[in-house]
Amino acid sequence: MAEELCAISDEITLCYEAFGDPADPPALLVMGLGTQMIAWHEDFCRELAGRGLYVVRFDNRDAGRSTHLSGAPPTLRQMVRRDKAAAHYLLGDMAADAAGLLRELGLAPAHVIGASMGGMIAQTLAARHPDSVRSMVSIMAGTGSRWAGQPALRVYPMFLRRAPRDRDAFVEYTARAFAAIGSPGFPQDLDALREMAGRSFDRESDATGTGRQLAAILASGDRSAELRRIDAPTLVVHGTADKLVAVSGGRATAKAIRGSELLLIDGMGHDLPRGAWPRIIDAIEANVARADPARQPA
């Protein structure tokens, strides 16, 4: 299916793409900070669809071909202080976007799978919009606590640095950034990273959206208490070698969500290496089956 646009409010239009049979149970994929839906690799989406799911990936607000808002990104001082005044919206607004997309497409409740910031959005969606979520998977995401999963201060400038405006320079800059936080325990496909970076450049020209998304994360604070309200079957996936969100963030997430299951993957960093896909997809399928006991993995 080709990319489509869906207006979920007067202010926000989201770009999405679907894989698989619309008659199958829906699965919504939510991507992370400053990253477009195409970071959910098409092969990953098709493998998930092959497990009997109707897979929908989409660009969050301020990413890709979805609505881009206005406003200055936060300064380094504002980020360190978690200054809420720097935020133009919160994770709750992004979760409401996802709920709106499911509503407009007639797909709720869905199996929701989020990575990094997308995991935070998925958590918030499950806590605040339980009627939209049949099961939830939180990958390489924390709870927002200052005591678990926080990136080192030296990581913050990476988010503030303006990406090059030249396409070739942008591709190399993005590939290096992803490689730096990627998985040391799995082979890295730099050609695939460059291909994704080139497509991202062609789909989006906004250099400030990532900063606004980061401000939303920081201003949303600690979600630990809210996560205790989640009752959807939950899987938490985290890499033991994650440089951006320490593995303590995954452990804290699993601890906060009653009945959740924790899958730690040795050597996985802050990415989705192809070598880890079989374990991740098998675990997602098992979590889907927890939400529907009549459905058993093939």
Tens of pLDDT, residue by residue over 55-84, are 999 999 999 999 999 877 777 677 666 767
Identify the pLDDT of residue 206.
83
**Axis crossing angle, helix 91-105 with helix 209-220, rounded to the nearest 10:** 110
Block residue for tokens 């990253």:
35
Asked if pLDDT for residue 253 goes beyond 80, the answer is yes
Q: Is the backbone of residue 262 left (phi > 0), alpha (psi -120 to 50) or beta?
A: beta
- The domain segmentation of the chain, as residue ranges, is 4-291
pLDDT digits (tens, 9 = 90+) for 177-218: 888 889 999 998 889 999 999 999 999 878 888 889 988 998
How much is the pLDDT for 179? 82
- 161 vs 204, which has greater pLDDT? 204
Block residue for tokens 């496909």: 189
Place of tokens 């208490």: 225
The residue to which tokens 């970071």 are assigned: 39
Q: Which of 3.40.50.720, 3.40.250.10, 3.40.50.10090, 3.40.50.1820 would CATH assign to domain 4-291?
A: 3.40.50.1820
Residue 297 reports pLDDT greater than 70:
no
Please answer whether residues 123 and 138 qualify as being in contact, where contact means their C-beta atoms are separated by less than 8 angstroms. yes
Stronger pLDDT, 12 or 189, i.e. the higher one = 12
| 261-265: strand order across its sheet | 4-7, 13-19, 54-58, 26-30, 110-115, 133-139, 234-239, 261-265
Where do the DSSP E strands lie in the chain?
A: 4-7, 13-19, 26-30, 54-58, 110-115, 133-139, 234-239, 261-265
Residue 163's pLDDT band (cuts 50, 70, 90): confident
| Number of C-beta neighbours around residue 183 at 10 A | 25
Question: C-alpha 160: how far from its chain's center?
Answer: 19
Dihedrals φ, ψ of 188, to 5°?
-100, 130
pLDDT digits 0-9 by tens, 88-144 = 899 999 999 999 999 999 999 999 999 999 999 999 999 999 999 999 999 999 999
